[in-house]
Amino acid sequence: MSCSNQNPFYGEWETPFQAPPFAEIKTEHYLPALKHGLELESTEIAAIINNPAKPDFANTIEAYEARGRFLDRVENVFWNITGTDATDELDGIDTEYSQLKASHLDDILLNDQLFQRIEQVYQEVDRNNLTVEQASLLEKIYGDFVRNGARLGKTEKQELRKINERLAILTLEFSQNVRRANQTWEMVLENSDLAGLNDRIIKAAAKTAKELDKPGKFVFTLDKPSWIPFLQNSTRRDLREKIYKGYINRCNHDDDLDNKARINEIVNLRIRKAHLLGYETWADYILERSMAKTPEQAYNLVNRLWQPALARAKRELAEYQALIDAEEGKFKLQSWDWWYYAEQVRQANYDLEEDDLRPYFAVDKVIQGAFDVANKLYGITFTPRNDIPKYYPEVKVFEVREADGTHLGLFYADYHPRSGKSVGAWSSGFRSQSNRNGNWVTPVVINVGNFTAATDDAPALLSIGEVETLFHELGHGLHSLLRNRVYTDQIMPRDFVELPSQVMENWATEPAVLKEYAHHYQTGEPIPDELIDKLAAARLHNQGFAITEYLAAAIMDLDWHTLTEVAERDPIAFENRTFDRIGLMPEIISRYRSPYYKHVFSGGYSAGYYSYIWAQVLDADAFKAFKDTDLFNQELAAKMRKYILGLSGTYDAAEIYRQFRGRDPEIEPLLRKRGLVEQEG
């Protein structure tokens, strides 16, 4: 049997819905298949260039968009697995392939002959004969080439190639270092160190210790389900400081995992690339295709929110410091104290503890609750499938169907931490939806999280924040599942793409929805009205902190990427200057410090972390339409499915929102939702 016949990527997948045959895919299969994919795509590009027929939309634009299907299939599996189950061997393959891929992309985007054909179509095609989606695709592809240097001279193209190749390596190394730093840090405790921690937290730490071959000990890690409950509950201030500093100092220890030098080089390379391409800053380059359009517009939004958020945070600080003083603590609150005293005040003011809620949020019930919301809005169903291959035993797979039973796609749910898994939560896919030439391809979607795991005597019981994150990621998943497009190659503005996810969070805590899915894991009783009322009353608790730490990170991102000059900078000193300029209080640390800021230095959000708050303006305004009428208003849901989920990327994002809402978004619903204006009543 030839090597190609042994490699599952080379043949058809005889699995239900052509899902990836994970049991057959071995580490040694990836690199040969990835290289073969590059070769196939190069052959497809050559065929477009050498086509003797006059360039037209079909033989050039559509042919270009349809290229690389084999490579897509391999990359989608490979990059998802490196995110969920990385190994040193996979990291090595990723490093080698990233260099090959960067060079390969430049071979395409800087190819003069290919660009000449595309430009000829762009200049000569009769747009009256194109559909809206075809016209959008033409603009997108032509813009891709121009924005990636197709018009540069030979010398400039060579410089751009070097920049792109180096950026590919640096951003990958940055991400790998953050993952390794997260996994190598641990705090090993004895029984005497557990003051203030409840039984659930202690059992989880004991389970982690057992898994790390430290029986009889209690291990806390930098995974959110571990460090956040510790900060909220431990009365050991010294240990709170230790774990918090462990978190905020990742990749900032002047060792092999330190990212400061990489940050400086990434930023300088981005400045050079922006200048080569005719932009003043990297942010100007990136935001050209966003809803914000310019750095000034992004700054305008975050600056409008900054002072109200900071003022609220200062009121929270005064409240927490008063509690310390009342307890005769005789110390000034520090950043590692904030979580603890915020929890104490929540318990005192609202009679609500995090662990009062958790028993009602068993992960399987929350998943079903999120599915039920999707069903009520869009009529779709999620059916467990045990006959479909999984890449990890704990993963759950669901078939998604229309109300009439038509197959829509597959949905993989992977929600708990493990070794080799990147931190955070995200939505991705093993296959994207398309409908080229009437050939409907159904999507295969994946949601990943790092939520609280089960203990030996209880299922996985989520925090309210984890519940909202699960709904958030399903919103992204629904966006992928319910798209209705011919082509996969579309412009998806970063500050619009968070709308489908963030708007889904709103349903998670609506009383009527909670009653449907939040049932006690032992008794089966629905969450009582008393707890729902307490949750609603505490809705704005600690919002000053939450918004301030986020905005600080968003502003820091914009500051990094509106630099105009290449220079050697100390990343810590740079971000501290940002925080001093905006008046960030020392008791609050930015949600991300530069050395582990994956969103902007390796995750595709450079100059775009502001987009979460931009999308919150949209989501608060959009959800208000439901609140003002009916949580499951079918007319609104149909519009959301058609425009927000189905057509995004095909039409202008602002126009899509206007089609849904009937007008432009208003900011007031967000200001009220986040407690940044006086509440009515």
CATH number at residue 590: 1.10.1370.10
Number of domains comprising the chain = 4
The answer to the question of residue 206 being in a domain is yes
Residue-level pLDDT at 491: 87
Among residues 303, 292, 298, the alpha carbon closest in space to that of 676 is found at 303
How do beta strands 381-384 and 396-401 pair? antiparallel
pLDDT computed for residue 4 by the predictor: 55
pLDDT of residue 1: 32
Q: Is residue 638 part of a domain?
A: yes
What is the amino acid identity at position 424? G
Say how far residue 183 (Cα) sits from the centre of its chain: 20
Residue 474 CA to residue 505 CA, distance in Å, equals 9
Indicate whether 449 and 586 sit together in one domain: no
Per-residue pLDDT tens over the stretch 82-104: 999 999 999 999 999 999 999 99
Cα–Cα dist 651/244, whole Å: 44
Token code pair at residue 94: 């990723």
User: What would the mean pLDDT of 557-582 be, rounded to a whole number?
Assistant: 98
| pLDDT single digits (tens) 629-670 | 999 999 999 999 999 999 988 889 999 999 999 999 999 999
- CA distance linking residue 263 with residue 276, whole number of Å: 20
- Helix, coil or strand: residue 543: helix
| 290-299 per-residue burial string, b: 16 or more CB within 10 A, e: under 16 | bbbeebeebb
Same domain, 426 and 388: yes
Is the pLDDT confidence value at 466 over 80?
A: yes
Pair 10, 80 in one domain: yes
Residue 35 pLDDT > 90, yes or no?
yes
The H or E element containing residue 501 is helix 499-508
280 catalytically annotated: no
Distance CA 530, CA 573 (A): 48
How would residue 117 be classed by pLDDT, with cut points 50, 70 and 90?
Answer: very high
Residues 221 and 237 in one domain: yes
Q: State which residues form the domain around 200.
A: 185-248
In this structure, what token pair is assigned to residue 338? 């904030």
Are 274 and 325 in a shared domain? yes
Q: How many CA atoms lie within 13 A of 428 on its CB side?
A: 18
Q: By three-state DSSP, how is residue 220 classified?
A: strand
Q: How does pLDDT run across 256-272, given as a tens digit for each residue? A: 999 999 999 999 999 99
3-state secondary structure of 486: coil
Q: Are residues 520 and 651 in the same domain?
A: yes
Catalytic residue among 473, 498, 549, 587: 473
Q: Is residue 678's pLDDT more than 90?
A: no
**Residues 105, 142 within the same domain:** yes
Give the orientation angle of helix 88-109 with respect to helix 154-184, to 10 degrees: 160
Is residue 369 pLDDT above 70, yes or no?
Answer: yes
pTM equals 0.96
Q: Is 20 helix (H, G, I), strand (E, B) or coil?
A: coil
* Residues found in the chain: 681
Looking at residues 333-350, what average pLDDT do you find?
97
Given this model, what pLDDT does residue 679 score?
Answer: 52
pLDDT level of residue 677 (50, 70, 90 thresholds)? confident
Which bin fits 492, alpha (ψ -120 to 50), beta or left (φ > 0)?
beta
**What is each CA distance from 375 to 4, 471, 517, 637, 640, in whole angstroms?**
42, 13, 13, 11, 14
pLDDT exceeds 80 at position 2:
no
